C-alpha cells in the first residue's frame, strides 16, 4: 500500500469527516476530492479521528469489522474486510434509547461480539488462535450511520469515515465459545413487532471468529495488535436495516437472549 495524501491533507480530511459525525450532517465522499486516495491514506484519516477523540478525553472501548461477507467483498472487488473503532459515547444500554437527532440516516445490523482474554497478533492469526484467546461472546447490535450523502460511497471513503461506526447496543447473555456453535447461531430481527430479517453466524466470513483473525492481521499491517480485554464486533449477520425515530427493535439470538432499543 502507498500513500497519496500529504500530512496536511490527511489532517484536514480527518477534521472534515469527524465534524460530519459530531454535527450529524452529510458530506460528499472524500474520494470526489482525492480520487487517488488509497486504503493506507484512508486508515491514516481514521486513526487521526481516533487520536482526536482520545485527545478530547473520549476512550476507545472496542473495535468493529465491516464488509464481512465473501459475496459483498467480491461485489466490491476487495479481498479483505475493513475495520473501525468504537468510542465510549457510542455505547447504548440494552433496552435504551438511541437519539436519532445525533445521527443522519441510521441502520442496524445484528452481530456477535467477542471479548478477548489474551492478546492476538498478526500476521498469520487464524480461527484457532482467536478461539483460544476468547474470554466470551455476547450478542450486540450495531447502529451504522454513513456520513456520506444518499449512501453514495466507495470503500476507501468508508474506511476514512471510521467504517460508518456510530452506536452499539450489547446485551443478552454472554457465553463461552465452546458452548455455542457460532456458525449455526440463529438470529431474528424484529422492527416494531414484525420480523424483518433472519440470519445465521456463518454469514460472517463462514465463522465470526474468522473476522477477529482478519482484524488482527489487518492491524499487524500498521504494527498494531488486539490487546487482551478487547471488545470486537465481528460484522453483520443480517443485512443493514434502516431505522428512524419512533422505531423499536428487538434482536433474538438463539440461546443467548435478546437485545433491544428504541429510536427517538
- Contact, 67 vs 187, CB < 8 A? no
Q: How confident is the model at residue 158 (pLDDT cuts 50, 70, 90)?
A: very high
The structural architecture, per CATH, of the domain 61-263 is: Alpha-Beta Complex (3.90)
Q: What are the structural domain ranges in the chain?
A: 61-263
Q: Using CA of residue 186, residue 242, residue 102, residue 27, what is the dihedral sign?
A: positive
CA angle (234, 235, 239) in 5-degree steps:
155
Confidence class for position 1, pLDDT limits 50, 70, 90: low
The CA-atom distances, in angstroms, between 261 and each of 97, 98, 111, 174, 232 are: 6, 7, 15, 18, 20
Q: How many CB atoms are located within 10 Å of the residue 261 CB?
A: 25
The residue behind cell 484457532 is 128
pLDDT in tens, 26-80: 999 999 999 999 999 999 999 999 999 999 999 999 999 999 988 788 877 888 8
Q: Average the pLDDT over 237-251 and give the result.
A: 96
Burial profile 120-141: b = 16 or more Cβ within 10 angstroms, e = fewer: bebeebebebbbebbbbbbbbb
* 88 to 34, 56, 59: CA distances (angstroms): 30, 12, 5
This prediction's pTM: 0.96
Amino acid at each position: 500500500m502507498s500513500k497519496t495524501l500529504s500530512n496536511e491533507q490527511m489532517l484536514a480530511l480527518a477534521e472534515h469527516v469527524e465534524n460530519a459525525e459530531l454535527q450529524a450532517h452529510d458530506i460528499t465522499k472524500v474520494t470526489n476530492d482525492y480520487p487517488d486516495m488509497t486504503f493506507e491514506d484512508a486508515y491514516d484519516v481514521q486513526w487521526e479521528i481516533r487520536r482526536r477523540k482520545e485527545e478530547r478525553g473520549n476512550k476507545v472501548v472496542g473495535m468493529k469489522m465491516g464488509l464481512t461477507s465473501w459475496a459483498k467483498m467480491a461485489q466490491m472487488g476487495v479481498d479483505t474486510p475493513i475495520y473501525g473503532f468504537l468510542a465510549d459515547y457510542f455505547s447504548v444500554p440494552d433496552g435504551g434509547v438511541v437519539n436519532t437527532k445525533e445521527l443522519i440516516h441510521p441502520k442496524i445490523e445484528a452481530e456477535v461480539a467477542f471479548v478477548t482474554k489474551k492478546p492476538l497478533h498478526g500476521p498469520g492469526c487464524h480461527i484457532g488462535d482467536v478461539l483460544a484467546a476468547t474470554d466470551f461472546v455476547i450478542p450486540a447490535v450495531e447502529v451504522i450511520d454513513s456520513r456520506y450523502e444518499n449512501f453514495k460511497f466507495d470503500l476507501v471513503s468508508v474506511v476514512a469515515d471510521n467504517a460508518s461506526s456510530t452506536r452499539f447496543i450489547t446485551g443478552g447473555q454472554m457465553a463461552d465459545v465452546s458452548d455455542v456453535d457460532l456458525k449455526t447461531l440463529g438470529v431474528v430481527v424484529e422492527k416494531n413487532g414484525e420480523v424483518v430479517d433472519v440470519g445465521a453466524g456463518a454469514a460472517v466470513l463462514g465463522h465470526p471468529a474468522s473476522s477477529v483473525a482478519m482484524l488482527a492481521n489487518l492491524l499487524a499491517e500498521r504494527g498494531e495488535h488486539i490487546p487482551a480485554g478487547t471488545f470486537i464486533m465481528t460484522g453483520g449477520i443480517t443485512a443493514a436495516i434502516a431505522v428512524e425515530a419512533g422505531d423499536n427493535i428487538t434482536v433474538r439470538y438463539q440461546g443467548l437472549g435478546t437485545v433491544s432499543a428504541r429510536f427517538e
